[in-house]
Amino acid sequence: MTTKISFLLNGDKISYTVKDHWTLLHLLREKMGLIGTKEGCGNGECGACTVIVDKLAINSCLYLAVEADGKTIETIEGLASTDGTLHPIQQSFVDNGGIQCGFCTPGMIMSSKALLDENPKANLEEIKHALAGNICRCTGYIQIFESVEAAKEPVVENKGGQNE
Amino acid sequence: MNNYNVVGKRIPKLDAAQKAMGRAEYIQDIKLPEMLYGKILYSRYAHAKIIKIDVSKAKALPGVHAVLTGKDVPKKMVMGFYKDNPPIKKGKVCSFRDEVAAVAAKTPEIAKKALDLIKIEYEELEGVFDPEKAMEKDSPLVHEYHKSNVLKLPWKLHYGDVEKAQKEAAFVVEDRFSTTWVTHCCMGTSGAVALFDAYDNLTIYSNTQIPSLAQKDFLDALKAMGLENKRARVIKPVIGGAFGSKLDTYAYEHIAILLAHKCRKPVKITFDRSEEFKATSTRQPAIIYIKQGCDKSGKLLFRDIKMILDNGAHTSWGATTPSVMMMPITSLYRVENVRYSAKCVYTNNTYAQAMRGYGNPQATFAIESSMNMLAEKAGIDPIEFRRINRNQPGDITPQNFKITTCGLDLCLDAVEKELKKNDSKEQGVGIGVASLIHVGGGARIYKSDGCGAIIKMDDYGKVNVFTGGTDMGQGLDNITAQIVAEELGLLAEDINVVHTDTDVCPWDVGAHASRSTFVAGNAALGAAKKIKKKLLKFGSKILDAAAADLVLRDRLIFVPNDPEKSMPIDKLLRKTHFSPGGTMLMADYFYDPDNENLGKDFQGNMSLTYTFGVHGVKVKVDEETGKVEVLEYVAAHDVGQAINPLLLEGQVYGGVIMGLGYALTEEVVHKNGEIMNANFRDYKLFTAKDAVKIKAPVLETADKAGPFGAKGIGEPGCVPTAPAVANAIYDAVGVRIKDLPITPEKVLAALKEKK
Amino acid sequence: MKPFKYLSPTTVEEAIAFHVRHSQTSKYIGGGTDVIVKVKGGFLEPDYLISLKKIEALSELHKNEATGELSIGAMVTHATLEKSLMIQKEYPIIYDAVSNIGSLQVRNMGTIGGNLINAVPSADGAIPLIALDGVALLHGPDGERSVEVKDLFIEPYKTILKSGEILKKITIQPQAPHTGSAYIKFGRRAAMELPLIGIGVLLTVNDDLVTCAKARICLGVAAPTPMRALDAEIFLVGKKIDEKTLIEAGKIAADESKVRDSVRGRAWHRKEMIRVQVRRMGLKCLQMIRNNG
């Protein structure tokens, strides 16, 4: 009951023989030692385990590892650049109070990234809708919204020329 | 205006980057060599005799290292201040969450399988699930040896003469309110890893908020196991939320210790989410009978409160919430005649622990709802009514609380201004306010309210602060760093705060009562002051200047306006260290605030200062569905001085949203002692889509006693939310909901009854 | 989880063949958001999970521009439906329902077919499809058959699907002009909800824009399975759609329902919500019809 899979993980090509009943969360945390992704409930009800698969945010606690075959997967460990610079979303969460205990943070950041990658100009309603599946008990969400808003690409205003 | 360099600045949480990268290690992430996994088996009944337990099949399962039942627990190993809670029950079970067996195995899967192989024969007994019923003569007894379901606790006070005051009152209101079980829902579930060294010394990793007191509990546990004169080391991993849930020690910690000792290997127990709901403790539910009265001019004359508290099957801190409920009861607003009594009653339900506010939210719900009812009867505007009765600096309350700084009037003004901005009287829209008082300068609930700090400064101008305090995400690390940096002329990033290890860190009574900023902050400040004195002494020598002329700022020591007399602090340190008779820089300070324990009559200035606040809310009630929408929320707090406004806002926002869940949607649903909604789908805490916009004006009254004038803010955010909302609903549609949570059903039912 | 073998057929026939071979111990899996939860909880213990993910034909979302027929493959995810501009514009009742199922993460994985097969009383996925008179195409060891979506459900968690049958797609015929549709999921909080009650209304009116030609009033959590409030529908047909008739329709629908108490809500409140929301959704439909001219 094992299957050989290969997939892209944070840009690296990975080959692994997984047991069919492993979840992606189990593969990441227990087998590959990537502890950044958290288990908050195990039932797809809290979002702490959110990773991005083929650009879509999913709950890795319900996603079977075998189905990762051929996919492109992003986890929190892959966000910062190789020189250590935080991804703008990570930096924004740091700067704007979006992180207290930090347990929901990896999932929250991955959900935010999936959103902004698809919809860089997402407004507050769209941010709330995208993060509705990520529970935070510490922040009350407000500084999380502020973090995501601040991480959006700045709107370049066309000042226009005015000849006196 | 303050010219602080670091204090008062919006400095991001110092460990946020680690957390943002997924590198923070929580209890779930800890893996030790040879570690085994423990799992606990819980009762299948609310109340039953244990007739027989057969663990033979479980023991025989390959990969199982130990199986424990109640008979394996040393007789003297009992948890809780009331000592009625062995970590594994023996003889009978009194609630669904009673632990009946535990297993340690090579993998969590094997441990789970082993639990399924344990056969227990029960004889079901009649249970009692209503505390008022449990007080009746013919009620089943939860603990036969206790002879009564009512706990022997001293919660009773009477100041002044309530009977006389009631006779003199022009207006009196009397009512019954109730709050139910809600729970912490920390995103990181509970867990512990216990291990022994070759000499039977214990190390335990745990999400505790009380490392020093936990250490004591574990030493008691070791003693009960026959291990005298051993060491117990408590190490905190990064904590995934606490909110009061870790203010007591738990069965799973004691069981991990027993298993680790039996197996001679580290044992890790972590809860899954269902277990977290079912087997951790809740907020204390309360049935509150309240009577208040005032004279014709609106001056409060008396407050008379009786409470019945469902104690559940065993006792933790929930049974002590009356000692904190006394605070708003005797001291929220000026009221001379106060009477209060609370009965804690055993039932076969789950039991309560500390939870953010520690009884204050429950008492304040009743008091502040009742205040509006009284105001209405007296024909006075609710905000004006509060102004008439507000606390003022210099007051000494009936409980002998000495009010030093008090910004209640400023908070009332701020909230009124905000709420009345768009004063459109739209159908179904209403506003409501509620105030709070909370301890803001420590809370002497134990023999000591102290916290120690040790500062070590190295040759590079970097500082390590070893504090007894605990950071569980609220930001004690930043507060400590900013206070020390300000005092020593450094930057926050130069300070490393170590709080994680009882082998290294000094004593602290615990991260409760919003005391961390005040007490741990003052401890760090005290140690920093000592270091500063030494720095100025060295600087005076090396720069040839009077110590009084020297300034420490931005990593420099200098005489202002004298460019010759300036040196980087780290250079000064190296010069001082590497010279004959050199010295290193370390200092320690134990700060135990000059507050008082409550006496036999519960009088005593429990805290050195008190935090005040007012919350105001505008709601829209859908009169056809009963749904309540929060349109605006303003939470004004008198915090003394905001050490870090960014993190302070985080505490207020988080507290308000938690408080709104408590007011509107959260409930641990029980049916005959069994929890019916042990998951995030059916336990309705607020999601991102439910979050409301919150304005959080901060009123700074600069309290002399606090570090840089600061008072505590961790809990106030969730204290007055429920009455503010209840008052707003009444203003909107004329119905008053007195039982939390305020669900659409309750509102709709009340509206129909009104018609 | 109890270990199982994961199979990945690429055609419906292959999937059915697998199932026939291991019929007692195998289960089809779509997005996994229901099946994996059940396997984790020990409610399902299959030896084989037969994934439908690699069967391309099941993932098609397609509107035939010539005939106007909408075809939704069973493996189309809720998120795909939510993001489809065509669905948003032309089938707002589907959009209303799917856009609030679970969370975005769950919607990215969960499929419309899986939601139907799971047959929960709350039925956010089923209600709009019933209102639109959707027809399900089933394919099993005995061949293909079509079943109206409204007839799929026997009782909670049980459909009429025979062993080995796969739900392939749902087809929806073009709606008449002057049709409006809306769905509301009523719960305690704004997201991550299993609803207290789910109400879907679809109204078609005549050219006078006011006389009801067709009414569908579909309720979730109002009975063990998704139901149509037939008496209320019959009442509306031929009548002038306005506040008054919708109030009456709401009353009739509430009386027809078989609501009960549960952890999530009380029966009397559910009945009230049916009464109120049928009227409100009906008015929303009317507004939609008027806006579209």
Chain C, residues 111-150, CB within 8 A of chain A, namely none
Contacts of C163 (CB under 8 A, 6+ apart): C19, C23, C140, C141
CB-based contact, A19 to chain C, within 8 Å: yes
Question: What gap in Å lies between CA B129 and CA B139, rounded to an integer?
Answer: 10
Mean pLDDT score, C6-31: 95
Peptide bond into B741 cis (omega under 30): yes
Mean pLDDT score, C93-103: 94
Model confidence band, residue B1 (pLDDT cutoffs 50, 70, 90)? low
Three-class SS of residue B56? helix
Handedness of CA B657, B662, B668, B669 (dihedral sign): negative
Which of B240, B472, B653 shows the shortest C-beta gap to A139?
A: B653
Averaged pLDDT of chain A: 95
> In chain B, what percentage of residues exceed pLDDT 90?
96
pLDDT of the residue at B2:
77
| B122 in Cβ contact with B49 (< 8 Å) | yes
In this structure, what token pair is assigned to residue B683? 């336990």
- Every domain range in chain C assigned CATH 3.30.43: 5-51
ipTM confidence: 0.96
Phi, psi (5° rounding) for residue B681? -75, -40
Please state the three-class secondary structure of B76-142 as a single string.
Answer: CCCECCCCCECCCCCCEECCCCCEEEEEEECCHHHHHHHHHCCEEEEEECCCCCCHHHHCCCCCCCC
Amino acid at C48: Y
Q: List domains and CATH numbers for chain B.
A: 16-23+450-591 (3.30.365.10), 32-125+190-270 (3.90.1170.50), 286-444+598-754 (3.30.365.10)
pLDDT digits (tens, 9 = 90+) for B240-253: 999 999 999 999 99
Helix, strand, coil share (%) of chain A residues, nearest 5: 35, 20, 50
pLDDT digits (tens, 9 = 90+) for B425-454: 899 999 999 999 999 999 999 999 999 999
Which of C49, C53, C108 shows the shortest C-beta gap to A56?
A: C108
CB-based contact, B680 to chain C, within 8 Å: yes
CB–CB of B681 and C273 under 8 A? no
Tokens 């000042």 sit on residue: A159
| A19 in Cβ contact with A2 (< 8 Å) | yes
Averaged pLDDT of chain B: 96
Amino acid at B290: I
Neighbours of chain C (3+ CB pairs under 8 A): A, B
Q: Helices A105-118 and A88-95 sit at what angle, rounded to 10 degrees? A: 130
Model confidence band, residue B579 (pLDDT cutoffs 50, 70, 90)? confident
pLDDT digits (tens, 9 = 90+) for C112-139: 999 999 998 888 899 999 999 999 999 9
CB-based contact, A74 to chain C, within 8 Å: no
| B48 in Cβ contact with B123 (< 8 Å) | yes
pLDDT digits (tens, 9 = 90+) for B335-392: 999 999 999 999 999 999 999 999 999 999 999 999 999 999 999 999 999 999 999 9
A90 contacts on B by Cβ (under 8 Å)? 17, 20-21
Q: Check pLDDT > 60 for residue B283.
A: yes
DSSP state of B71: G
Q: Check pLDDT > 50 for residue A53.
A: yes
Sort residue B645 into left (φ over 0), alpha (ψ -120 to 50) or beta: alpha
A19 contacts on C by Cβ (under 8 Å)? 3
CB–CB of C269 and B626 under 8 A? yes
A36 contacts on B by Cβ (under 8 Å)? 21-23
Q: Which residue has the higher pLDDT, A103 or C186?
A: A103
Q: Which residue has the higher pLDDT, A1 or B10?
A: B10
The beta strand positions in B389-543, using DSSP E, are: 429-439, 451-457, 463-467, 495-498
Fold of C62-172: 3.30.465
Class of domain C5-51: alpha beta
pLDDT of the residue at A160:
52
pLDDT of the residue at B354:
96
Q: Check pLDDT > 80 for residue B268.
A: yes
pLDDT digits (tens, 9 = 90+) for A152-164: 977 666 555 444 4
pLDDT digits (tens, 9 = 90+) for C229-267: 999 999 999 999 999 999 999 999 999 999 988 877 888
Mean pLDDT score, B213-223: 97
The total of other beta-carbon atoms located within 10 Å of residue B381's CB is 13
B16 contacts on A by Cβ (under 8 Å)? 93-94, 98-99, 102
Tokens 């907020």 sit on residue: B283
Residue of C nearest to A48 (CA): C105
Question: What gap in Å lies between CA B279 and CA B678, rounded to an integer?
Answer: 10
- Every domain range in chain C assigned CATH 3.30.390.50: 179-291
Q: Helices B521-543 and B476-488 sit at what angle, rounded to 10 degrees? A: 20
Mean pLDDT score, A19-30: 98
Q: Please count the residue pairs, one from chain B and one from chain C, whose beta carbons lie less than 8 angstroms apart.
A: 45
The total of other beta-carbon atoms located within 10 Å of residue B553's CB is 16
Q: Are strands C70-73 and B698-699 parallel, antiparallel or unpaired?
A: unpaired
- Minimal CA separation from B690 to chain C, in Å: 5
CB–CB of A38 and B26 under 8 A? yes
Mean pLDDT score, B470-490: 95
Which of A3, A21, A133 shows the shortest C-beta gap to C105?
A: A133
Got the DSSP string for B240-272?
S--TTTTSS--HHHHHHHHHHHHHTS-EEEE--
* pTM beyond 0.80: yes
Q: List domains and CATH numbers for chain A.
A: 2-76 (3.10.20.30), 88-151 (1.10.150.120)
Mean pLDDT score, B220-230: 97
A45 contacts on C by Cβ (under 8 Å)? 103, 192
pLDDT digits (tens, 9 = 90+) for C144-174: 999 999 999 999 999 999 999 999 999 999 9
CA dihedral B729, B730, B735, B737 (to 10 degrees): 70
Mean pLDDT score, B198-222: 97
CB-based contact, C51 to chain A, within 8 Å: yes
Q: Check pLDDT > 80 for residue B236.
A: yes
pLDDT of the residue at C262:
82
pLDDT of the residue at C266:
85
| B383 in Cβ contact with B416 (< 8 Å) | yes
pLDDT of the residue at B583:
77
Fold of C179-291: Enolase-like; domain 1 (3.30.390)
Q: Where are the alpha helices (DSSP H) in B520-668?
A: 521-543, 569-577, 645-664
Question: What gap in Å lies between CA B237 and CA B240, rounded to an integer?
Answer: 9
- Across-strand partners of B79? B85
Question: What gap in Å lies between CA B393 and CA B406, rounded to an integer?
Answer: 5
Question: What gap in Å lies between CA C172 and CA B475, rounded to an integer?
Answer: 55
What does the buried/exposed string (b/e) look like for C103-142 if buried means 16 or more CB atoms within 10 Å of the residue's CB?
A: bbbbbbbbbbbbbbbbbbbbbbbbbbbbbbbbbbbbbbee
CA dist C293 → C25, C178, C202, C205, C269 (Å)? 54, 8, 17, 12, 36
Handedness of CA C127, C130, C135, C137 (dihedral sign): positive
Three-class SS of residue B452? strand
CB–CB of B684 and C265 under 8 A? no
Got the DSSP string for B679-720?
STTTS----GGG---EE--EE----TTSGGG----TTGGGSS
